[in-house]
Amino acid sequence: MATEIINFWTWKDSQIEEELKMYCIELEEYDRKTAINELKKAVKLAKTEAMMEAVEDEEQGTKIKEVVLSELQKNKPKDIAKLMLSRVIFHNVGVDDLPYVFCGHNGRAFYIPKEIEVDVPDYILDSCIKDACEERMFPQIMQDGSIKWIKRKIQRFPYSIIKRSFPAE
């Protein structure tokens, strides 16, 4: 029983609107952030209802319930840090910069949009983002007027923490 994580932030607006229609969600005025939050709630509710239907099956009720509970125990994170999130905003560095941050951790890929408040797992911030650095060349003017280029390591993905370490829902 694998749970699929859907990142709606990587979707086009047309895809989001189609998904809203599929879940019969009507918004007075289209706002991307509100639409994505409503989709997240609808998907979570649909998964919960599907699980409840599986557990309430009369013919194989106890067998299915045991399978569901064992899968939940297997997928239960052993480390509480995996359940902690931080709300952050990633900043653009230059004009040639991508509009998202891509990072991978233990076979899981994340596309995190920039200049938008997003909830990111703490283990991603601590293990991938914080350690990502790059070398840039900066000019340094010497006393004799000549310019010397020096290398400095800077953070690859600068970000601001809005809210640190709160439990995932």
pLDDT at 61: 47
- For residue 81, pLDDT beyond 60: no
Give the residue, 10 or 79, on which the prediction is more confident.
Answer: 10
Higher-pLDDT residue of 35 and 84 is 35
pLDDT of 70 strictly over 70: no
Residue 133, pLDDT > 60, answer yes
SS3 content of the chain, % helix, strand, coil (to 5): 40, 30, 35
Closest CA to 1 of 57, 81, 65: 65
Percent of the chain predicted with pLDDT > 90: 9
Write down the pTM of the prediction.
0.47
Number of Cβ within 10 Å of residue 157's Cβ equals 21
Say if CB 132 and CB 124 are below 8 A apart.
Answer: no
Looking at the DSSP assignment, which residues form a beta bridge with residue 119? Answer: 87
Mean of all residue pLDDT scores within the chain: 78
Q: Residue 157 is inside which H or E element, if any?
A: none
